[in-house]
Structure 1
């Protein structure tokens, strides 16, 4: 399953990351995040920080520095060359994955996924290479997906679809024509290399324990 965000050892790593000092040659900017949660414990804040650290590292932003400040705020210092809007997406997305049928019934969620991988391969209708994200199921997830696709494939056109959503946004909504017993499922769409990588990063890290807002 996607890694647990409340691992006791996480606090040790957070402490070490807080001591990290980037190269003096790197021009840094900062973002301040406010925890949208009443009185989070130090363990909860450290868990959120470690999760965000994982996301930053997975997109190559290893020079970033994270510091917990007063009033449940988190300061993130990052290289000025980093795309700020993309960074905000990666660090603040709850990353709630849901696969639902045409009636909105939940079929699978984050707990049924072991990993997400950004790929570039021949998925286009004309055989061209496209960017996409591949999800790997747990054994339970594989069984549930097989059962769901078997049922949904029997429905009439317009009702035989499964929507893949992340944080309430539909990323892909393919029609289901037959039972699928594959241990993986593909999320395709108008992905670029960056957006596919960023989506895989937030899904692999797991859901944030609570949301954060940007302090302007």
Structure 2
């Protein structure tokens, strides 16, 4: 029995060494020869600082019974936009300000605050417009076609094969595909405008009816602009307008000293647990302790 335990212990040692050679972390300041891999724990707002934003929702055109649902929809859209930025551990929650619906957004480690604010607050209402032959003033030059962002299945960045310029390709759902086919069929040799938040960003001339449900937005975009536009479109439009009413930059509240103390306290706790396990259970306790340490070491980077 004891011999089998030592065999198991030896196998664990071998597996640990092999795993360590492939995945040994560099942080905090740990290396194993030329084999290393970054070890990073995702820190929240209290550890690394960040930005605290409060948005007020304009629900004046929403019925009282639907206001909570509108706030939930806003949270979902903001969450998708923030996830596309790669922010870890964001906090997005509903709140009340003077009886009005609001959303609180906390973004740890964000360095470009303006980019985050612009991305979160943009309504991103996508519409396809047809030329209005009956218009007498420039303001009425375009009319709505019925095709908008709600019919969008996916948007992604691609590059023009002839110019190499970045552009945003659109893929519509089944209803949108049908609408787009009808729109292009009745507007041959006419421009069809694409507007975002009531601003025309592209107005290509239709050469033929398009039945595959695909469209392209081009407009001298930079790669970053095209990427940002695709993020906004994929996340969906905000169901109601929002306005930024509070912005605060938050520094780390715990600080490196508190973090170090927490680590020391954790190590002391592990030591006494391991000591008890080994004294009480002998070799099985040693194996269990060793397995727990390996489990903790391998699991921690996930968080």
Say if 1:130 and 1:48 are closer, same or farther in 2 by CA, change over 3 A.
same
Is 1:90 aligned with 2:119?
Answer: yes
Is 1:28 aligned with 2:28?
Answer: no
TM-score normalised to structure 2 length: 0.56
Is 1:167 aligned with 2:193?
Answer: no
> Deviation at 1:141?
2.0
> Deviation at 1:200?
1.5
> Deviation at 1:68?
2.7
Structure of larger gyration radius: 2
Say if 1:56 and 1:26 are closer, same or farther in 2 by CA, change over 3 A.
same
Is 1:122 aligned with 2:164?
Answer: no
TM-score normalised to structure 1 length: 0.76
Is 1:53 aligned with 2:76?
Answer: no
CA distance in 1 between counterparts of 2:43 and 2:91 reads 7
> Deviation at 1:195?
1.9
> Deviation at 1:146?
2.2
Return 5+ residue gaps in structure 2 as ranges.
1-41, 133-141, 247-303
Match among 174, 184, 191 for residue 214 of structure 2: 184
Q: Which residue of 1 aligns with 2:151?
A: 112
Say if 1:88 and 1:25 are closer, same or farther in 2 by CA, change over 3 A.
same
Return 5+ residue gaps in structure 1 as ranges.
1-19, 155-159
Q: Which residue of 1 aligns with 2:131?
A: 102
**Does structure 2 retain, via aligned residues, the 8 Å contact 1:34–1:74?**
yes
Q: Which structure has greater helix proportion? A: 2
